[in-house]
Amino acid sequence: MKLLEWQISVSLVCAVLGALLAIQIRTQSAIHNIVPTRRVEEMAMMLKDLEDEKKALIKENADLKDKLEDAARGRNLFKSISEEIRNIKVKAGFAAVKGPGIVIRLDDSAVKPEPGEDPNLFLIHEEDLLKISNELFAAGAEAVSINDQRMIATTGIDCAGTTILVNNKKLVPPYVIKAIGDEKILESSLLMRGKILETLKSWSIRVRVTKSAEVLVPPYRGTVAGKFAAPVPAKEDIK
């Protein structure tokens, strides 16, 4: 009887242990199946996020490239406009320039007029400076100044008593005229027979012409105020 009870007890214990072991095996198997599935889902979500981030970066890179190209075009346009403005300022006389040319120095005659002679013939007048500047421009001078007063399209040369007005600035002798251009042509055009310098020399006006490899002509420093002229719209340009 005792042996039977012991066998039953052992059988029950084994049965319980077997049941527990089976449950443990099933639980571990389920865990192994769930974990990989979750890892795959997580990795799939991470991959999707990375793909979205990649697309966003590609779009941002394309946008930045377009902006860089626009900036480069803008810089080139700004550079082109700046160069055009500079060229216009040079041609209009609003920028200092240098180059080969000649320097003419003029001073009133040191000779005392004889009785009956007109003393004005021994002095430099505004028309003399005007003729010299016109001859220089006609000979191809690209820039001209008189006592550092730059000659431009609106420059006036007038008499003001014992002084000469250039750009409304009073000038007194000696007058130094600087001109940039082909120095040989400029010099020969002034020294030709019958030209203004020959006339001035005949009245003992002191004249000296010097060729130079580099002449510096300052910019026009006055103002230009137009009263009547106005720009014409492009569609109305005169042919």
In tens, the pLDDT along 69-101 reads 777 777 777 777 778 888 888 788 889 999 999
pLDDT of residue 34: 52
- More confident of the two residues 161 and 196: 196
Enumerate the domain spans of the chain.
7-92, 97-217
Return the ∠ at Cα 217 (arms to 215 and 218), rounded to 5°.
145
Q: Comparing C-alpha atoms, which of 190, 198, 205, 193 is closest to residue 101?
A: 190
Which has more confidence, 99 or 17?
99
With H, G, I as helix, E, B as strand and everything else as coil, classify residue 68.
helix
Own/partner pairs, 41-44, CB within 8 angstroms, 24+ separation: none
> Which has more pLDDT, 44 or 5?
44
Residue 138 pLDDT > 90, yes or no? yes
State the helix-helix crossing angle for 126-138 and 183-191, rounded to 10 degrees: 130
Q: Where are the beta strands (DSSP E) in the chain?
A: 97-107, 143-146, 149-150, 157-160, 163-166, 169-171, 175-180, 206-217
Asked whether residue 2 carries a pLDDT value surpassing 50, the answer given is: no
Per residue in 118-148, is it b (16+ CB within 10 Å) or e — as a string? eeeebbbebebbbbbbebbeebebbbbbbbe
DSSP 3-state assignment of 40?
helix
When computed from its CA atoms, the radius of gyration of the chain, rounded to whole angstroms, is: 49
Question: Which SS3 state, helix, strand or coil, does residue 83 take?
Answer: helix
User: For the chain, first and last CA: distance in Å?
Assistant: 136
Rounded mean pLDDT, 100-125 = 91
pLDDT of the residue at 14: 60
pLDDT of residue 3: 46
**Per-residue model confidence as pLDDT tens digits over 169-212:** 999 999 999 999 999 999 999 999 889 999 999 999 999 999 99
**Interval 213-225: pLDDT, tens:** 999 999 998 877 6
Contact 175, 105 (CB under 8 A): yes
What phi-psi label fits residue 189: left (phi over 0), alpha (psi between -120 and 50 degrees) or beta?
Answer: alpha
pLDDT of residue 40: 62
Task: Specify the fold of 97-217.
Answer: Alpha-Beta Plaits (3.30.70)
Average pLDDT on 104-109 reads: 95
Instruction: Kindly report, residue by residue over 28-47, the tens digit of the pLDDT.
Output: 555 555 545 656 677 777 77
Does 16 or 224 have the greater pLDDT score? 224
